[in-house]
Amino acid sequence: MYRLATPRPTTATRVLRVRVKDRHKVWLSSLAREVNLVWNYCNDLQIRVFERERKLLSGFDFWPYLKGSTRGDAALLLPVQAVQETAEQFARSRKQHSKVRLAWRKSGGARRSLGWVPFKVRTIRHAHGQVYFAGRWLSLWDSWGLGGHELRAGNFSEDARGRWYLNVTVTVDVRRGAPELLPRLPAQADAIGIDLGLKELATCSDGTTVAAQRFYRNIEPALASAQRSGKKQRVKALHAKIGNRRKDFLHKLTTTMARSHHVVCVGDVNAKALARGRHAKSVLDAGWSTMRTMLRYKCADAGAWFVEVPEAGTSRMCCACGAASGPQGVEGLDVRQWTCDVCRVAHDRDVNAARNILARGVAILEEQFAAAGEARAVEAAVNEVGGLHGRSAGAGHGPPVVGIAAL
Same domain? 152 vs 259: no
Same domain? 24 vs 69: yes
- Residue 209 lies inside a defined structural domain of this protein: yes
pLDDT, residue 387, reads: 63
pLDDT, residue 343, reads: 83
- Residue 123 lies inside a defined structural domain of this protein: yes
| CB-CB contact of 147 with 126 (8 Å) | yes
Same domain? 196 vs 328: yes
Cα-flanking dihedrals φ and ψ of residue 137, to 5°?
A: -90, 130
For residues 252, 256, 262 and 265, what is the CA-based torsion angle, rounded to 10 degrees?
Answer: -60
Query: Which range marks the domain in which residue 140 is found?
Result: 11-173
pLDDT, residue 332, reads: 67
pLDDT, residue 9, reads: 53
Q: How many residues does the chain have?
A: 407
pLDDT, residue 224, reads: 95
One-letter amino acid for residue 364 of the chain = I
Same domain? 307 vs 358: yes
Same domain? 134 vs 245: no
Same domain? 240 vs 298: yes
- Residue 399 lies inside a defined structural domain of this protein: no
Tabulate helix, strand, coil % of the chain (nearest 5).
Answer: 45, 20, 35
| CB-CB contact of 177 with 8 (8 Å) | yes
Q: Which helix (DSSP H) or strand (DSSP E) does residue 50 occupy?
A: helix 25-53
pLDDT, residue 392, reads: 46
For residues 231, 236, 238 and 241, what is the CA-based torsion angle, rounded to 10 degrees?
Answer: -160
Same domain? 169 vs 193: no
309 beta partners? 267
Same domain? 34 vs 125: yes
Quote the CA–CA distance of 319 and 325 in Å, as a whole number.
11
Same domain? 218 vs 332: yes
Contacts of 332 (CB under 8 A, 6+ apart): 326
Quote the CA–CA distance of 91 and 63 in Å, as a whole number.
12
- Residue 51 lies inside a defined structural domain of this protein: yes
Distances (CA, A) of 252 to 244, 294, 396: 12, 10, 66
pLDDT, residue 322, reads: 76
Residue 287's closest CA among 212, 358, 225?
212
Residue 285 in 3-state DSSP?
Answer: helix
Same domain? 163 vs 253: no
Residue 330 in 3-state DSSP?
Answer: helix
- What one-character DSSP code corresponds to residue 267? E
pLDDT, residue 131, reads: 95
Query: Which residue stretches of 201-304 are H helix?
Result: 215-228, 232-260, 271-274, 280-286, 288-302
Q: Kindly list the averaged pLDDT for each block of 10 residues, start to end, along the chain of length 407.
A: 41 88 96 96 96 94 92 88 95 94 93 95 91 94 89 94 94 57 48 90 90 91 95 93 94 91 90 87 90 90 87 81 75 72 80 89 86 81 69 42 35
- Residue 151 lies inside a defined structural domain of this protein: yes
Same domain? 131 vs 261: no
What total number of domains does the chain contain? 2
Same domain? 160 vs 198: no
pLDDT, residue 352, reads: 86
- What one-character DSSP code corresponds to residue 303? T
| CB-CB contact of 91 with 59 (8 Å) | yes
Cα-flanking dihedrals φ and ψ of residue 28, to 5°?
A: -65, -35
pLDDT, residue 178, reads: 41
